[in-house]
Structures are given as C-alpha cells and as structure tokens.
Structure 1
C-alpha cells in the first residue's frame, strides 16, 4: 500500500499536468467544486452498481470514482496545508484512546 504522502504527490503531479493542459486556475472554486463533483460520481457509480441508477456500472467504475475523490481530497488538504494522514490519526485515533 502506498504512503498517503506518496499518493498526495501523485495527485499533485497529475493535477498540475491537467491544469496546465487545460489552462485551469486551481483556486478555491476549483478544489471545492472538484471534490463535490467526484462525490457525485462516486454516488452515481455506486447506485448503478446496485441497479438503482441509469445504465449499468461495474466495480471498477466505483473504484475509479473513489480514487478520483481521494485524489481531490488529498489535493485540497495539501492546498490548505493540512497533513491529511496526521489529521486522520488525530481525529479518528482519539476514539481509540477514549474507548479503552
């Protein structure tokens, strides 16, 4: 399994290529809009896979959309100076400490 920072680096490299190719200014509207768009695509892929959406979907479609969403979450976190891994450990890990 890849390290979360390695995944964030990968997302950044691909995002920079995409932004340059299409002349995109990666601003707040772009980061937030892309996360929202990808969450909608995850929802759509899941519903299709369950036979509840238009058309048919595959497990690979769902996995691809989850990958896109994760990529944009990591990009947003990096843009905001958030260490996503540390934030997850702090927030979710606190439940383990209080559970014992």
Structure 2
C-alpha cells in the first residue's frame, strides 16, 4: 500500500465511523483529531518507558502504543488528503537523503 492508498483507506474508514456516529468533520476537526491522537500517543509512550504509572500490562501497553502510532499516522494521512498534499512528492523534499 502506498501513501495515497493508505490515506484513502484511512479516510474511508473514518468516513464510515463518522457517518455511523453522526460526527461532523470539517477542516478544524482534522487538526484537533490529530492533536488528540498525539496526546494519547504521548501518554502511552510515557507509560511504556516508565515515566508515568502504567495503567496496563507491558504487552497491552505495547499494543496500545502501536495503535496510537497508527492513529497519528492515519489522521495525518487524512489531513494531507483533505488538503491535496502529495506526500510521496514532498516527503523526499522535507527529508532529503545525502549520498
């Protein structure tokens, strides 16, 4: 799956969830949702590394951390899709590799 396909997949899944739960998604929503997911990722990261008191077992924390990373990436892909950003074109420009 390339980045465009991943963005479309995430968008379709989120649209289905939003429609089922009557969630209105506008351009502000996408940014706030990404912020929310980043907060959840931060919390699970802190718990996983022992900086915060864990609320789950280590294996559950690892699964939650994995899911939180996917949520951040998925919501970032959706935001990029909403603004017609060609990630496959701009990522190499943002993160150039020196030979």
Which interval holds the TM-score relative to the shorter structure? 0.7 to 0.9
Equivalent-residue separation in structure 1 for 2:6 and 2:92 (angstroms): 17
Deviates more, 1:20-29 or 1:40-49: 20-29
Where does residue 68 of structure 1 map in the other structure? 71
Please state how far the C-alpha of 1:30 moved relative to its aligned partner. Answer: 0.8
Equivalent-residue separation in structure 2 for 1:81 and 1:31 (angstroms): 14
TM-score w.r.t. length of structure 2:
0.86
Where does structure 2 lack aligned partners over 5 or more consecutive residues? none
Where does residue 10 of structure 2 map in the other structure? 11
Give the total of aligned pairs.
Answer: 95
TM-score w.r.t. length of structure 1:
0.85
Where does structure 1 lack aligned partners over 5 or more consecutive residues? none
CA RMSD of aligned residues (A): 1.4
Please state how far the C-alpha of 1:28 moved relative to its aligned partner. Answer: 1.9
1:87 aligns with 2:81: no
Equivalent-residue separation in structure 1 for 2:42 and 2:2 (angstroms): 26
* Higher RCO, 1 vs 2 (CA within 8 Å, ≥6 residues apart): 2
